[in-house]
Amino acid sequence: MRYNYVAIEGTMGAGKTTLSSRIARELNGKLILEEFEPDKNPFLAKFYKEPEKYAFQVEMTFLALRYQQLKDKFSSLDLFHDFIISDYYVAKSLIFSRENLQPDEYELFARFFNIIFSNIPKPELMVYLYLDVEHLQRNIHKRGRDYEQNIDDSYLEHLQQGYFDFIKQQTDMRILVLDTNNLDFVANPKDYEKVVEAIDQPYDIGIHRLVL
């Protein structure tokens, strides 16, 4: 892998964890997986049932978890792995919180975010896995997490738009947007190889879009 730090992004059901885990395993990468299970964030299941009541608590908990994890991972030198790959980029905190919080809550949250993450390294390449909502819902139902089973299409659409808005605003990052609607990189080895090949290319700073 030509990049020292790659972040795989996308909405829930896009395949971030599966892809990053396999790349790390096969290419000797240090893997960072987001801690999102209910035992890590006790407000998550409550949020899906009563989003307005628990949105701020769930976002602040994720903020703390992501900060502590990244601080720990980047604070020590790792001589046994060739690169770092994660299944999230920390700026997703801003994307999700803008969708989930009231404007005054978001303003406060963003202030905390900018203070806390000012010294956390940015990935050399951020990869956004794009799937349409129908494919996302299919994957969400397939993996069977109880607290995700009633997510509305409109919520996923708004999150997708939030990611697009964020991507358009970035002027100092390498961002690769991969349309994977016609691929199955989980079950099809050739599709997986196409995705890895697309990621491991030299990209200039800016936004790059590929349909695979």
DSSP line for 18-39: HHHHHHHHHHTEEEE----STT
CA–CA dist 39, 132 (Å, integer):
29
Say if residue 75's pLDDT is above 90.
no
> Can you give the pTM of this predicted structure?
0.91
Q: What is the pLDDT of residues 95-144, one digit of tens each?
A: 999 999 999 999 999 999 999 888 888 999 999 999 999 999 999 988 86
Residues 6+ away with beta carbon under 8 Å from 158? 99
Considering the domain 5-211 in this protein, what is its CATH number? 3.40.50.300
Strand ranges for the chain from DSSP E: 5-9, 29-32, 83-86, 125-130, 174-179, 206-211
For residue 205, count CB atoms less than 10 angstroms from its CB and return exposed for 0-12, middle for 13-18, buried for 19 or more: exposed
On the question of pLDDT at 163 being above 70, the answer is yes
Tokens 């951020």 belong to residue: 126
Q: Which pair of tokens denotes residue 79?
A: 């001589």
Highest mean pLDDT among 34-38, 96-100, 195-199: 195-199
- pLDDT for 148 equals 76
Distance of CA 20 to the CA centre of its chain: 10
pLDDT at 147: 66
Where in the chain are the domains? 5-211
